[in-house]
Amino acid sequence: MSTEMKRRIFLKRSLAAGAVGVAAGAGLLTPQEILAAWNKAAFEAKELPSALNELLGVSDHEASADINVKAPDIAENGAVVPVTISTSIAGAESITLIASNNPVPLVANFKLGQGASGFASTRIKMGKTGDVVAVVKAGGKLYSAKKEVKVTIGGCGG
Amino acid sequence: MANTIKIRAKEKGGETTVKALISHPMETGGRTDKKTGKKIPAHFIQEVVCKHKGATVMTAEWSGGVSKNPYISFKFSGGAKGDDIELSWTDNKGEGDSKTGKIK
């Protein structure tokens, strides 16, 4: 590729990026469009590997002892299951929370920003007994840990 | 929607713990209304962003699998007592709210 061509491509790209920035800044884009960051395909995936692939770009994950999943052994009410994940893996970029037997297995993805510790806590719904899986992304690789939670009353049905 | 967020942030030993509660129905779209037999449309928070001094410390992407009136907690370093901390959410209908709290 000649230098001339590269220069053209570069110009094109920077112009395109500039235009999007201006549009967002001027409030031309609705919140829905800005939300394009919300990964629809990943959150609609019915299988865990495809959800991970859509969300994080990789689906292979290895079990790690450096991730701690804190959840009750038995959840009496599947509609509210408190889950806390903490990890000591250096350079953790994100913590993904999965309830493997839910109709939509991918529950939440916490992207750790500047200075954030490897810690996230929330309350999730669980349709039935199953594993709560935490996947931590660090350095392009995925590490995981899981804990089985027995659910006596499901939280996903009507 | 106004006043849907309760936020608390506490600094201890250089680490700030943020806890927040959001009032939201978090409907998955999979439930049916027992009286009418119709499906209740999906209505859940998709994104929660938390900022400290303009820098994003946490972005959470959620599905309808997060419980009603969600609770979120996380930790970060670099916060100081008296600093502002801003939390905002957006749901699948494009509604949202934000609130600024102080680190204690």
Residues A41-50 pLDDT 10s: 787 777 777 7
Identity of the amino acid at A61: H
Does residue A18 have a pLDDT over 60?
Answer: no
Average pLDDT value over all residues in chain A: 77
Q: Which residues contact B70 (CB under 8 A, 6 or more apart)?
A: A122, A123, B21, B22, B24, B26, B45, B62
Check if A12 contacts B (Cβ < 8 Å): no
The pair of three-digit structure tokens given for residue A67, joined into one six-digit string: 């991730």
Of A58-62, A75-79, A96-100, give the lowest mean pLDDT range: A58-62
Beta strands in A48-151 (DSSP E): 61-63, 67-70, 74-75, 81-87, 92-99, 106-112, 116-124, 130-138, 141-151
Overall domain count for chain B: 1
Q: Can you give the CATH number for the domain in which B16 is found?
A: 2.60.40.10
The pair of three-digit structure tokens given for residue A96, joined into one six-digit string: 């993904």
Please state the domain extents for chain A.
3-34, 45-151
Of A20-24, B36-40, B44-48, B75-79, give the lowest mean pLDDT range: A20-24
**Which residues of B touch chain A, with CB atoms under 8 Å apart?**
15, 28, 30-34, 40, 46-47, 50, 52, 55-68, 70-79, 90, 94, 96
Average pLDDT value over all residues in chain B: 88
ipTM confidence: 0.88
Q: Determine whether the interchain pair B30/A117 forms a contact, defined as Cβ–Cβ distance below 8 Å.
A: no
Confidence (pLDDT) at B87? 92
Collect all residues of chain B within an 8 Å Cβ-Cβ radius of residue A79.
67-68
Selecting from B34, B56, B59 the residue whose C-beta is nearest the C-beta of A158 gives B34
A88: Cα separation from own chain's centroid: 18
Does residue B29 have a pLDDT over 50?
Answer: yes
Confidence (pLDDT) at B10? 93
Distance from C-alpha of A50 to C-alpha of A54, rounded to nearest angstrom:
6
Assigned superfamily of A45-151: SoxY domain (2.60.40.2470)
The arithmetic mean of pLDDT across residues A100-118, rounded, is 87
Q: What are the tens digits of pLDDT across the range B92-104?
A: 888 889 899 899 8
The arithmetic mean of pLDDT across residues B39-61, rounded, is 89
- Angle A128-A129-A132 (CA atoms, 0-180°, nearest 5)? 105
Q: Residue A45: helix, strand or coil by DSSP?
A: coil
Confidence (pLDDT) at A34? 43
Distance from C-alpha of A54 to C-alpha of A134, rounded to nearest angstrom:
16
Confidence (pLDDT) at A70? 92
Percent of chain A with pLDDT over 70: 73
Check if A75 contacts B (Cβ < 8 Å): no
Q: How far is A11 from chain B (nearest CA, A)?
A: 29
| Residue range(s) defining the domain that contains residue B12 | 5-102
Q: Residue A70: helix, strand or coil by DSSP?
A: strand
Q: Determine whether the interchain pair B74/A110 forms a contact, defined as Cβ–Cβ distance below 8 Å.
A: yes
